[in-house]
Amino acid sequence: MNNLMLVTHEAIQDAARRLRDVARLTPVIDVSEAACPLWLKCENMQPVGAFKIRGAYNFMAQLAEDVLRRSVVTYSSGNHGQAVASAARSLGASSVIVMPESAPAVKVAGARSFGAEVVFAGTTLLDRQARAEELAATRSLTIVPPFDHPHIIAGQGTVGLEILQQCPGVATVVVPAGGGGLVSGIAAAVKSLRPDVRLIAVEPEGAAKMTVSLAAGHPVTLDRTASMADGLLAVRPGTLTFEHVRALVDEVMTVNESEIAETTVWLAERCKLIVEPSGAVAAAAVRRRAREGRPLQSAVVAIVSGGNISLEALAKLRKSGT
């Protein structure tokens, strides 16, 4: 395991205590259909519209006061940036968020609404990371990593603790996977208490970096990624998140663009949930399995990871499917 330590149950419990008055206890709702048992953990209902507040705040709350005073910087497709901006404001710090030039306007506006300075850099995670590292060096800023850090993973793992409390009979948890912070944290939390629970990670077909990396036996950097699920477009899994997935996740699936779009619209029309495409991939995977005649059995919880989509973009998805 390259001497990398997996995040412990104790670290996730510590994160839960830090987040008690910061992150919402989001609901788990039953949207099951006849051939498809399904509960949704609605992280789109977090104050920043996504689960990312958990990891960002858990990381930043452990920084020294003098470090916070010098400000923080991060690189993000949008949701992590909003979370860092929100956490920085609540902790009395300023923030710089490096976003792709293609970032959805709703996510840019969200980061700015929390007082962040937004800087644009290229279209890939590597473009953003390079610019953030440059800003950190020239302006003495502290980088808040988007996924590949124990404090980030532990914060995201609090979602797993909540699922076990809210749905004690859960048999399978299905999680969107970008860089891997969310699925790593949930897997660490759930497997530490309920090793019998099955963990499934889901990627867009056009950004299957975890699938490729597992096949290779080490993290692989893709030449490019492409999907409407803009929050899952990392070209490479994290070194630490890869080890969590390899050790704790039972299966990695991919879903295609049609399935992501259809499920995003289904969540709005049938479940009355505003969900961005990145947040819909786990539910899309569950629904695909049901359509193929091999549904996941018993209590299945899918993570709805984010809801930062404009009504105009949602309407465009709906129209494209009619």
| Per-residue b or e along 186-218, where b marks 16 or more CB atoms closer than 10 Å to that residue's CB | bbbbbbbeeeebbbbbbbbebbbbbbbbbeeee
Tokens 């409407």, located at residue: 228
DSSP 232: G
Among 95, 272, 305, 316, which one carries the catalytic annotation? 305
Among 52, 107, 191, 209, which one carries the catalytic annotation? 52
Torsion sign over Cα 259, 129, 110, 118: negative
Nearest in space to 178 (alpha carbons), one of 149, 152, 146: 146
Tell me the C-alpha distance between 177 and 181, whole Å. Answer: 8
Backbone angles phi, psi at 150, to 5 degrees: -55, -35
Q: 76 catalytic, yes or no?
A: no
Q: 192 catalytic, yes or no?
A: no
Tell me the C-alpha distance between 100 and 264, whole Å. Answer: 23
DSSP 24: -
In the chain, where does DSSP find H-type helix? 9-18, 53-60, 65-69, 79-90, 105-113, 125-139, 150-166, 181-193, 209-216, 239-248, 257-269, 277-291, 311-320
Catalytic residues: 52, 305
